[in-house]
Amino acid sequence: MKTATLLLALVLLLLTACQILPGSEIVEEATAAVTQPSPKPIEVTVLVTQPPLPTYTPYPTYTPYPTYTPYPTYTLPPSAPGATDTPTVAISTPGPSASPSIAPSPSLTPTPVVAVIATPEAVVLPNCPNPCARLTYPTVNAVLKGVVEIKGSACIDNFDYYKFEFRSRDATEWAFVQRFEHTVVDGVLGVWDTSALPAGAYKFRLVVVDKTGNYPPPCEVNVIIEH
């Protein structure tokens, strides 16, 4: 590339000189100087090396699992009807007329099973003769825990209200629990929460009051509170 540039520059210089000093000799020298033989083509051999192809590896042949064969079902041999026990063979002392005799197997005596039946404790209702002022629960010496449902009747003539009261066995003053202003016949009178009371023996009673302030004898019952 640099050689061609230099040659072109030299030609331009010679042409410029020819314009200044014309002459055939100078033109011939310039033409001879510019003409050069064409370069010979260079043959280049490129060797392209191709990597070898990978060797094909076939997949392994699939082998199926063997078929599962179940074990044969065991069947018990049929037993002779009525044969339950194997007889015991007793052989007598050898002798001219001795022959084996079959002794029956001893019978099994079943062990008696003793059934223990718990006898429920007798339920004793409090002694309250008035059917319209009585308790059916709690019963006498009933064991109470937590919130207890009180049952009975409160339906005297000229009814006004009824209330619950309690005290410990050693106390003399009754403590008020709750008051109700509707009649009840053989039903739920209310509830008594015993969870805040110390464990021990108590008395509980139902008092049914009429509109004049009078009331029949209260229905009292002894109870035991546990936690």
Residue 124 belongs to a domain: no
Given a cut of 90, whether residue 139 has pLDDT beyond it is yes
Residue 211 belongs to a domain: yes
Please say whether the beta carbons of 225 and 197 come within 8 A.
Answer: yes
Q: Is 15 helix (H, G, I), strand (E, B) or coil?
A: helix
Whole-number Å distance between alpha carbons of 41 and 57: 48
For the chain, give percent helix, strand, coil, nearest 5. 15, 30, 60
Given a cut of 90, whether residue 122 has pLDDT beyond it is no
* Residue 205, pLDDT score: 97
* Residue 9, pLDDT score: 76
Whole-number Å distance between alpha carbons of 220 and 222: 7
Number of domains in the chain: 2
| pLDDT tier at 98, thresholds 50, 70, 90 | very low
Q: Which amino acid is at 133?
A: A
Question: How far is the CA of 155 from the CAs of 18, 49, 161, 213, in angstroms?
Answer: 157, 120, 9, 15
* Residue 26, pLDDT score: 45
- pTM, two decimal places: 0.49
Residue 25 belongs to a domain: yes
Residue 104 belongs to a domain: no
Domain that holds residue 169: 133-225
Whole-number Å distance between alpha carbons of 83 and 78: 11
The CATH number that applies at residue 174 is 2.60.40.10
Rounded to an integer, the average pLDDT of 94-106 is: 52
Residue 59 belongs to a domain: no
